[in-house]
Amino acid sequence: MKIKSLNKICLLLSFVVLASCASTKYKPSADAMEHFEEGKTTYHEVIGVLGKPVTTTVNSNGDKIIVYSDMTTKVDPATYIPIVGMFAGGAKADMKTLSFTFKNDILKDMQYLESSSHYKMLGN
């Protein structure tokens, strides 16, 4: 088996593991941004509405960034067929991320990102 193919298999397995770990009760959507106003909404108001974020980071200039994310992975049924799965199998991963940046606990910026990827076991 080629190294490139092995890397794809590892990447696919990573997505499955991340999908089971990196999600919250809140499912991110662009609509959520309508409920908050930059320059006015506080950190505690966002937490009160959306709940605990998946990650919280404070960068070097003191900004606090919180992220809500959800990932779903759908494995192609052919993946489970011995030998055939290596050639016809794969998975599709859909990820939604909503992030908020705060300066002194006041909302400075918010972003929503949706991405979708399809991975094959071997080949393109």
Q: What is the pLDDT of residue 83?
A: 78
Report, as an integer, the average pLDDT of 105-112.
97
- Classify 42 as helix, strand or coil: strand
Report, as an integer, the average pLDDT of 91-99.
91
Other CB atoms within 10 Å distance of the CB of residue 28: 23
Q: What is the pLDDT of residue 123?
A: 60
Q: What is the pLDDT of residue 9?
A: 53
**Strand partners for 116:** 94
Domain ranges of the chain: 3-120
Report, as an integer, the average pLDDT of 15-35.
67
- Classify 105 as helix, strand or coil: coil
Give start and end residues of each alpha helix (H) in the chain.
3-21, 43-50, 84-88
Report, as an integer, the average pLDDT of 19-28.
58
Residue 12's nearest CA partner among 59, 67, 80 is 80
Q: How far is CA 122 from the centre of its chain?
A: 24
C-alpha separations of 113 from 40, 61, 108 in Å: 23, 24, 17
Secondary element (H or E) of residue 46: helix 43-50
Identify which has the larger pLDDT, 64 or 9: 64
Identify which has the larger pLDDT, 43 or 91: 43
Q: What is the pLDDT of residue 22?
A: 47
Rounded Cα distance, 11 and 72, in Å: 15
Rounded Cα distance, 75 and 85, in Å: 11
Banded model confidence at residue 23, pLDDT cuts 50, 70, 90? very low
